[in-house]
Structure 1
């Protein structure tokens, strides 16, 4: 790296060594992972019995009351993609017959939780939804929804849109996460702790929304809330390059750095000090009437994590007390039976001390339990068995881009996959001695993504860090549990809010 480029990188507050590594990634690409099989029910995915569900529902709340529990909600995503079709309609000639999506939106306007707010915005402009409908002016309704002089939904984050209508209030996803937190994230000190990752321009709006709804929620529940926020760190941005892998320069000569996808949030997660951390996307919420199943399975996956974690901790303490046949046999059983691990033949034939060292390195890691839903054609990562460089097998969530589709064996495993990842995780990030793991040590930097974008009419390549639940957690101990499809209700377009699950 020449001195001028290094000086430019330093001037923008970035680390030259990190940037040099990123440029090498652009040049070399990322290797595909070695899949040995899809994770399926009975082979990597646990299907809980009714008895197990009942057991965890009974035992989890009392355990959680003794723990620091945090609900971690990535909430910085803009809602603009929800309104892609409406923006297209707005940019067009206003002919409703050309947009089936907009027709559906207008025809069902009264079913949206933001209907009264939208009507009020139009009245402030001297009109109303009814008046616009009578005049056949759908464009004015859509403009009032999206534009800054109306509700401004086109530039707000999803977390601040009105999703669900109730008799006495209309809730945003941010509020729904607070309500949901009461059901399974009540920890030490009779407190629900929720952490939102937000974009800088929207943090004050999030704080205002939470401040507006929290007093009533506290009064009704008798529970304390601790709501915190963080922003994606500028230091996690990655350099953009031209199509020939040279740093992309802006017109003023500065280098272009871009946010590096949800994998950048590993830094934020690493700052959370807790025994148990739930992770769930901001838009995956439902009204109260169908929250019950989500509550049951959240308690189940957390209860399972605590149960397995206790065995892992016991195994590590036994190894600390002394390496002998009994302690190694116990640790082996936990690794094989509870974590689904396999000891490579090269290790199992070694000395007792070497086997113990291998087991200690495998057991003393962050642990996560991931809910998996049956594959219904939704986009998203899937659960697979991966062969590690040391010969052991591990459970991983893979995106399609990490799979070599030109390899018949890998393609066969992808086609045989039965489940996908709805981002339904619970994490244990403290070790058996109560210390927080440094999560940055357990990611695989060879699992990033390269995408093609454009800026100012020029093509560029962008780099995403290993995904938060993909490569960023590749070194964790992982368990997969089948959860019902009803627990996965994302809102990708505004018309998704018309589905029964959101009404």
Structure 2
């Protein structure tokens, strides 16, 4: 590693040791996840009864009033991919008959919440959307939506796009997250705390949007909103390399560093001081008419988290007091029954003292409850039982890329998977003594990803850190709960907004 490269690495806020580890990962790759079987109902995924749902609707709100509750929303990504087909159309010959996607977009354009804004933008140029449609000026309409000279939707983050129509106003996902936060994130001091991770370019626009609606909502609901922001840290960017695994040097002689995926946000999550932290993606929001089910299940997984945490803390305190048969038996029960942990064969031959130490180590970890929806063929991660280094089994969320599909056994396990990860998490990141865990210590760095990209016409390899809800939380205690499919309504393309769930 030459002096210039070392200087640039240090200026990134990255250690040389970390950089060397990244270069080593490019050369050696990452191992596949040692999955044992898919988590299913009754075997790693809990199905809540009507009685349990009703119980948590009562217990959670009272407990939450004593807690610092935070809603953590990753919101930094640009919406560019939402409009991929529209960009292609504008760059092409403008023949709408060649694209069913664009034809659907144009033929139902009045249904979009941004229709009025787009119409006003076009009127400033001289004619309305209706007139542009009559003249078949489809490129002009789409360009006005995407380009910075118009609405600029092609370069804005999803959180700032108008998603939903209401009788007297329209809402962005950021606005919807505030409403949803009021439904289940009310904590200490009658305050709803939301934290958005945003890009530096877009933070002023987020603040401007929130400033518009916050006073109105505080007055309407009789609460306070505490909204905070952070950016993905520059120090979490990773080195890009050539296809020969050498640092990718740009024309100006500098080495290329790239954002390392959502796993980089573990640092942002680590900075949050909260007792209960809900995590939900920015685009998974529905209009008010469909929010009730989401509210009930968010309250339920929050209530379940707090009940399990109480028992975990009780077990740890008992082990601290005295490692006797009673304390070890209680800790075993909490680990295997409440957390669903599976002890290794080697556990049975340990002495009482060793068992107590082992269980203390296993229980004293960050805790999460994750909602899982039935698999409908969506691409992405799912819940699996994974073999740990000590022989125990733990519940993990695994992405498809982490599974060796060339291995017949693993392919069969993957095919038997019944559930999908919608990113519906509630987390507890403080220990039984009230101290914050250092979440970086519970990340499995062997679960990163290597992807192939290009820059300035040259191929390169990019490194993604372990995903935020995958390897970044590998060392957490995890409980999975089935949640209804209606709670999962992401917007991957602009035409997803035409689905009934977003109308």
Q: Same fold (TM over 0.5)?
A: yes
**Residue number in structure 1 paired with 2:254:** 254
String of CA shifts for 1:38-67, please: whole Å, max 9, x gaps.
000000000001111111111111111110
**Residue number in structure 2 paired with 1:305:** 305
**Residue number in structure 1 paired with 2:137:** 137
Distance between the aligned counterparts of 2:182 and 2:12, measured in 1?
42
Segments ≥4 residues shifted beyond 2 Å: 1-14
**Residue number in structure 1 paired with 2:127:** 127
Distance between the aligned counterparts of 1:69 and 1:92, measured in 2?
48
**Residue number in structure 2 paired with 1:218:** 218
**Residue number in structure 2 paired with 1:14:** 14
**TM-fit CA distance, 1:348:** 2.2
**Residue number in structure 2 paired with 1:37:** 37
String of CA shifts for 1:419-473, please: whole Å, max 9, x gaps.
0100000000011111110000000000000000000111100000000000000
**Residue number in structure 2 paired with 1:352:** 352
**TM-fit CA distance, 1:230:** 0.2
**TM-fit CA distance, 1:175:** 0.2
1:390-401, aligned counterparts within 5 Å? 390-401=390-401
1:1-150, aligned counterparts within 5 Å? 1-150=1-150
String of CA shifts for 1:247-281, please: whole Å, max 9, x gaps.
00011111100000000000000000000000000
**Residue number in structure 2 paired with 1:482:** 482
- Give the secondary structure class of the aligned counterpart of 1:244: coil
**Residue number in structure 2 paired with 1:193:** 193
1:337-376, aligned counterparts within 5 Å? 337-376=337-376
Pick closer, same or farther for the CA change 1:298–1:95 going to 2, 3 Å: same
**Residue number in structure 2 paired with 1:277:** 277
**Residue number in structure 2 paired with 1:466:** 466
What TM-score do the two structures reach when normalised by structure 2? 0.99
**TM-fit CA distance, 1:406:** 1.5
- Give the secondary structure class of the aligned counterpart of 2:201: helix
**TM-fit CA distance, 1:478:** 0.2
Distance between the aligned counterparts of 1:167 and 1:2, measured in 2?
62
Distance between the aligned counterparts of 2:175 and 2:49, measured in 1?
32
- Give the secondary structure class of the aligned counterpart of 1:186: coil
**Residue number in structure 2 paired with 1:431:** 431
**Residue number in structure 2 paired with 1:336:** 336
**Residue number in structure 2 paired with 1:446:** 446
Distance between the aligned counterparts of 1:111 and 1:465, measured in 2?
39
Distance between the aligned counterparts of 2:119 and 2:291, measured in 1?
29
- Give the secondary structure class of the aligned counterpart of 1:354: helix
**Residue number in structure 2 paired with 1:408:** 408
String of CA shifts for 1:158-193, please: whole Å, max 9, x gaps.
000000000111000000000000000000010100
Distance between the aligned counterparts of 1:246 and 1:77, measured in 2?
28
**TM-fit CA distance, 1:12:** 4.4
1:200-211, aligned counterparts within 5 Å? 200-211=200-211
Q: Number of aligned pairs?
A: 503
Distance between the aligned counterparts of 1:161 and 1:180, measured in 2?
17
**TM-fit CA distance, 1:350:** 1.2
**TM-fit CA distance, 1:97:** 1.2
- Give the secondary structure class of the aligned counterpart of 1:201: coil
**TM-fit CA distance, 1:157:** 0.4
What TM-score do the two structures reach when normalised by structure 1? 0.99
- Give the secondary structure class of the aligned counterpart of 2:195: strand
**Residue number in structure 2 paired with 1:167:** 167
Pick closer, same or farther for the CA change 1:260–1:375 going to 2, 3 Å: same
Structure 2 unmatched ranges of 5 or more: none
**TM-fit CA distance, 1:69:** 0.1
**TM-fit CA distance, 1:343:** 2.2
Distance between the aligned counterparts of 1:341 and 1:293, measured in 2?
29
**Residue number in structure 2 paired with 1:231:** 231
**Residue number in structure 2 paired with 1:456:** 456
**TM-fit CA distance, 1:3:** 3.9
**Residue number in structure 1 paired with 2:500:** 500
Distance between the aligned counterparts of 1:436 and 1:4, measured in 2?
38
String of CA shifts for 1:382-441, please: whole Å, max 9, x gaps.
100001010100000000111111111111110100001000000000111111100000
Structure 1 unmatched ranges of 5 or more: none
**TM-fit CA distance, 1:8:** 3.9
Distance between the aligned counterparts of 2:487 and 2:86, measured in 1?
28
Tell me, yes or no, if the aligned pair for 2:160 and 2:174 is still in contact at 8 Å.
yes
**Residue number in structure 1 paired with 2:315:** 315
Distance between the aligned counterparts of 2:361 and 2:317, measured in 1?
13
